[in-house]
């Protein structure tokens, strides 16, 4: 095949090069093309084609009608969203849940990584790590079942608080809306803190050990070493992850909110994704649900770009 192509190159006149060279290359790499083209078609159908559905947000979409027969309503659904008290509450929940999860997620993961790094017993460190990321692999359904059991009337949380004398009678924790954000933050932390700590541990392991030795000789205490060596050593990882997560600020997830949410805490549990599920799937208001989804995607994009350029200005480098 190779000799054939070289003779081809010698024989072909220059002006035919463009298309012919392309076709020859295609033939040469036909196996590679065969390996990718079906999946490129797949990705276009399953991931890109649905974007066409965004047009629904600007129509009064009726599934029975064809595209040309749909009634166009411009920004009606968006305007409705921003005057709807329920959606404004949903927006508040989304932001509050995200910010709580973001802050808690960062602080606990960084904290755990530092504490694990300070352990001198490698075996104990490995055991703690193994146990700490176990919940990450359980499904949210299982996690939600565990959380609701811990928080139930006869669950350990009530028992513990009663025996410590902190509460007088058992509380139905998931039945009080005001507690939901905190419960969600705690559940997210429980599930993901070990997993999230991995990347910080990797960053810490890159720090030059001689820095610690030098600091010790200079008489720096344990906490001073953590503050002046370990934390600065993680700085670039923290910044990159922070930017990524700020981009996802409206993506507070939907599984725990959907699974732990109930009629009693709905005013605090319902976020944009749950709203989309309820309006779209249960109430068949496809247009309104899609409008809410588009709003979320666009805001996320703006946040991502803003956070990235801010970090570049601060001299930290960005994602792209």
Partner 1 sequence: MEFWKLQKSGMGKTREDVIFDTCNVIFLVLLCVVMLYPFLNQIAISLNDATDSVKGGIYLWPREFTWNNYSHVFEEAAVIQAIIISVLRTLIGTGVGLLCTAMVAYAIAQPKFMFKKSVTIIFIMTMYFNGGLIPTFLLMKELQLIGTFWVYILPTLISAFNLIIMRSFIEGLPKSIFESARIDGAGDFRIFFKIVLPLSLPVLATVALFVAVFQWNQWFDVFLYNSSNEHLTTLQYELMKILQNSSTTSSGDMASAFANSSDSGSNQVTPKSIQATMTIVASVPIILVYPFLQKYFVKGMTLGAVK
> Which residues ranging from 265 to 284 are in contact with partner 1 (CB under 8 A)?
273, 276-277, 280-281
Q: Which of 19, 69, 85, 137 binds partner 1 (CB under 8 A)?
A: 137
Measured from the Cβ of residue 38, the count of other Cβ atoms closer than 10 Å reads 10
The residue (of 92 and 216) whose beta carbon lies closer to partner 1 is: 216
Cα 73-74-75 angle, rounded to 5 deg: 110
Per-residue x/- track, 209-228, partner 1 (CB under 8 A): x--xx--x----xxx-----
Tell me the window of 12-20, 82-90, 93-101, 206-214 that interacts with partner 1 (CB under 8 A).
206-214
Q: Which candidate, 217, 239, 205, places its Cα nearest to that of 116?
A: 205
Which residue is associated with the tokens 């480098």?
317
Q: Is 52 in the site for partner 1 (CB under 8 A)?
A: yes
Distance CA 167, CA 160 (A): 9
Q: Is 91 in the site for partner 1 (CB under 8 A)?
A: no
Q: Which structure tokens are listed for 170?
A: 């058992």
Q: Which of 9, 23, 40, 107 binds partner 1 (CB under 8 A)?
A: 40
Q: Is 32 in the site for partner 1 (CB under 8 A)?
A: yes
Q: Is 142 in the site for partner 1 (CB under 8 A)?
A: yes
Which residue is associated with the tokens 């810490």?
204
Q: Is 199 in the site for partner 1 (CB under 8 A)?
A: yes
Q: Is 127 in the site for partner 1 (CB under 8 A)?
A: yes
Q: Is 119 in the site for partner 1 (CB under 8 A)?
A: yes
Measured from the Cβ of residue 61, the count of other Cβ atoms closer than 10 Å reads 22
Report, in angstroms and rounded to the nearest whole number, the Rg of the chain calculated over CA atoms.
27
């Amino acid at each position: 095949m190779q000799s054939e192509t070289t003779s081809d190159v010698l024989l072909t006149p220059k002006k035919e090069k463009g298309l012919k060279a392309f076709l020859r290359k295609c033939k040469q790499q036909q196996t590679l093309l065969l390996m990718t083209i079906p999946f490129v078609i797949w990705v276009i159908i399953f991931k890109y084609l649905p974007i066409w559905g965004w047009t629904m947000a600007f129509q009064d979409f009726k599934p029975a009608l064809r595209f040309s027969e749909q009634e166009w309503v411009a920004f009606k659904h968006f305007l409705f969203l921003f005057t709807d008290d329920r959606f404004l509450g949903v927006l508040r929940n989304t932001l509050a849940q995200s910010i709580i999860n973001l802050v808690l997620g960062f602080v606990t993961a960084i904290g755990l990584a530092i504490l694990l790094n300070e352990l001198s017993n490698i075996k104990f460190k490995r055991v703690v790590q193994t146990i700490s990321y176990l919940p990450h692999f359980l499904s949210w359904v299982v996690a939600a079942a565990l959380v609701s059991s811990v928080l139930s009337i006869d669950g350990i949380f009530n028992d513990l608080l009663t025996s410590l004398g902190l509460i007088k009678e058992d509380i139905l924790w998931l039945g009080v809306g005001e507690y939901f954000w905190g419960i969600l933050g705690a559940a997210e932390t429980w599930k993901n803190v070990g997993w999230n700590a991995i990347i910080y541990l990797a960053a810490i392991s890159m720090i030059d050990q001689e820095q610690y030795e030098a600091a010790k000789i200079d008489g720096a205490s344990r906490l001073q070493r953590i503050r002046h060596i370990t934390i600065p050593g993680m700085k670039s990882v923290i910044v990159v992850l922070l930017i990524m997560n700020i981009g996802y600020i409206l993506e507070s997830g939907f599984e725990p909110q959907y699974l732990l949410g109930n009629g009693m805490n709905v005013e605090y549990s319902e976020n944009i994704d749950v709203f989309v599920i309820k309006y779209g799937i249960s109430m068949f208001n496809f247009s309104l649900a899609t409008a809410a989804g588009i709003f979320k995607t666009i805001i996320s994009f703006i946040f991502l770009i803003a956070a990235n350029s801010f970090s570049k200005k601060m001299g930290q480098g960005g994602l792209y």
